[in-house]
Structure 1
Amino acid sequence: MSTEKLTEREANMYSPLTLAFLGDSVYDTLVREHLLRQANMPVAKLHSAKIKLVCAEFQSRAYDLLAEELSEHELAVLKRGRNATGNTVPKHADAAEYRRATAVECLFGYLYLTGQDRRIKELFAVMMTLEDNENG
């Protein structure tokens, strides 16, 4: 799955919600791979574990952790995602959580489009420390 990397300027032309649309998939794929590499388990168990990590509540909790690790430009992308309008809030999350989760997804989408795979993995690892702390 090779895509041509965009410049920061080109990536900034996309709306935050469009970046989040892509970032949701990027993050979901990382979570699936992370869980698969942890243990060979039945798909139903993998799915249950995935749901806990891709929900707005978990992503919202990771927001502050990520914000501490970001460059000024990355933080601007995160905040742009958080401030995006037009979000419909699912029943299982409040508006603030959902906006913060959208911000995380926006950042992942932006980093993916600009070809910053290594940075995505670094930030994903930071998010997974939250999972480790909650489970350990």
Structure 2
Amino acid sequence: MGDSVYEQLVRERLILKANTTANALHTMAVERVCAEFQAAAVHRLIDDDVLSEQETEVYKRGRNAKGINPPKHSSVGEYRSATGLETLFGFLKLTDRTDRIEELFSLIWERAEKDSKQ
């Protein structure tokens, strides 16, 4: 659930921001949906102490889930962290906290934009 929520947000932002081909939009989306990007994003949220205690617990529950097999291009740690972020987004969606989803996603997006300009 959470992976689709996160990916939809990425694709919506890109479509609204970029006036380019479908292939270029897809490439940009893949860069922001990959495990490496998501892992870095969630670590920034944690480092900045943005997540509530409950959100941190949900993230950790997803991160520590058994049976995670990462793709060849990402490490186990990155994949687990990304899974935890997706778990958090799924939890927020299922508990109808779309305002919090947007808040967290905006923080992730703004930081990525800032980092890409440096």
Q: Map 1:65-80; keep pairs closer than 5 Å.
A: 65-67=44-46, 68-80=49-61
Once the two structures are aligned, what percentage of the paired residues are identical? 47
**CA-atom RMSD, angstroms?**
0.8
Deviation at residue 63 of structure 1 after TM alignment: 1.3
Q: Aligned with 1:88: secondary structure?
A: coil
1:7 corresponds in structure 2 to none
Q: Distance in 2 between matches of 1:69 and 1:82?
A: 17
Q: Distance in 2 between matches of 1:133 and 1:58?
A: 14
Contact 2:38/2:82, CA 8 A, preserved across alignment:
yes
2:40 corresponds in structure 1 to 61
2:9 corresponds in structure 1 to 30
TM, length-normalised to structure 1: 0.82
Larger of the two Rg values belongs to structure: 1
Matched, 1:93 2:48: no
Residue-pair matches, total: 115
Deviation at residue 66 of structure 1 after TM alignment: 1.9
- Ranked by relative contact order (alpha carbons within 8 Å, sequence separation 6 or more), the top structure is 1
Unpaired runs of at least 5, structure 1: 1-21
TM, length-normalised to structure 2: 0.94
Deviation at residue 40 of structure 1 after TM alignment: 2.0
Q: Distance in 1 between matches of 2:80 and 2:38?
A: 10
